[in-house]
Structure 1
Amino acid sequence: MTTLLFAGATGNIAKRAIKNLQNANVTIKAGIREAELEVGRAHFASQQNVDVVELDLLKPETFKPAFEGVDIVYFATLLAVPGEFEKAYIEAAQAAGTVKHIIHSTGSTADVPEVFKLCSEFIFEREALTRESGINYTFLRPLMFMENFATMLAPSIRNEDGWSEPLIGSAEVAYVDVQDIANVVSSIALSPTAHEGKTYTLSGPDAISSDVIAELLSEALDRKITYTEMSAEDWSSANWGGVEVADSNNWLFNILRENYQGFALGAEGKNLLNDNIKNITGKEPTSFRAFIARSVNVWKK
């Protein structure tokens, strides 16, 4: 029986992919850092093919038992974690001697390096660690998550009838549903050979602007929802406690600023639309209208 290890198993993509595999003939190790072990055990308690294991970057001794006997590993590169944690995972996979495939999720900004210079360089470096590991791999490059509207932007939409970002209202982004990404991960995990050495950019079925999203939300909630473009200066003050745009040395801040500038240029719009989700999973990707219908309760007062 195939054994899968999901590093960061309580993450948005991993926990959904694990649920997808609840009736599959596989054994799953849900790798979770020490601080979230109890939450993870509670989350996966009803899934009989899941074994919650400790996998903590701050505790190297957890790596060997977590990777022991594993055939396929999934992990995601996170912008908020600039350290080379991927290297630690890959070295553990090599040492285990059983890992045949790595599913590595990064980001679609790598598809437009001329616009997202900092971010693409970061992603290329992390992907290179996997590519040069000697283990078969598949790279996933999802676009911006629809779920951002149901999580970090939800309080503003719910309580203030709108939201603001440093993004031109008419700029289109091909947002993707996290559940669709998870469906891709679980599909590849069950048939990894067909996807060896492949890189898949994952987009939604359409590119949509903040202005149009506001209209769709207004329609679904039966009240006026407004999108307001804000300046990078105001955005930085609101989100970074007064960090100055012009001279900030904060690496993550500069990455995020670059991303919003690129989104405003349409760099993650129609040019990145594709059929990869449908071709891999056999299902049509979720439209933004369908995502709003599914999530509407989070924006109700």
Structure 2
Amino acid sequence: MSADSAVTVLGLGPMGRALAGTFVAAGVRTTVWNRTPGRDGELVERGALRAASAAEAVAASDLTVVCVVDYDAADAVLRRADVAAALKGRTVANLSADTPARARDAAAWAADHGVRYLDGAIMTPTTTIGTPDGVFLHSGPRDLYDAHLPVLSALGGTHTHLGEDHGRAAAYDVALLDIFWTAMAGCAHALAVARAEGVTPEELAPFAKGIGAILPGAIESMAAGVAAGDFSGADNPITSSASSMRHIVATSEEHGIDAGVMRAAAGQAQRVIGLGYGTDGFTRIAELVAGRLAPAGATAGAGAVQG
């Protein structure tokens, strides 16, 4: 990094500490601040600069990286009068997680207060920060992203600019975590069902990994189908999916295991079938939950179902 490279990091939870530590290791002059005192000790020992207040912290660098639990926490710091005044003419790169609407609201607030603003999302865990495996998504003005990319790149991994709309990074974040947490909920439920049937977690794990290996191809196929409006179920009609899900629900409930998530998924599949799309594939659910699925044979828009 150049000798005058500098960054401020607000928020020293596990991810914030990983970001700040990586900046320090890369030779970036790094100022740190956290609402709860005492989390900066190791970072300061390694060369980070401790700020006495958030306003002092943001005044120390042209770029402030924010990484807190959500935008309520971010707003509680950034929208204080003294901090907003110190930020005027400087750049905030907000890597906290929240909704696309909150990201756009934050950008509007920043513009009203003379603050330059980038939104972003970190799609990988703390252990990837500073390694080639980190994945960072950014949205906002392209020239602002380009100007600060040399410092942000010190975090390692890949950095992708998704467009000028400040909500784009959060939209990707929400959609991708939708996949992740739904899958994790399925894993937790599967372990409970297997154990109830006398199958240990260690016995199930190798086969569960095999199921996981199917998903990349399935995701590509589903994405291509939805994009093209092709919901063919020639290889696996949704009636077959619904039958499989009923077996999971039945086995779960025989053991007193909550099957609410699978019941919801099975209910969506059954609604698709009831609307006359039983020969289509599971991807028809994307149309159902978006409220775009009319009964088969109806005129476009007639009888649309709300997801």
TM-score tier by shorter-chain length is 0.3 to 0.5
The answer to which structure has the higher helix fraction is 2
**TM-score under structure 1 normalisation?**
0.43
Larger Rg: 2
**TM-score under structure 2 normalisation?**
0.43
The answer to which structure has the higher strand fraction is 1
Which structure has more relative contact order (CA 8 Å, sep 6+)? It is 1
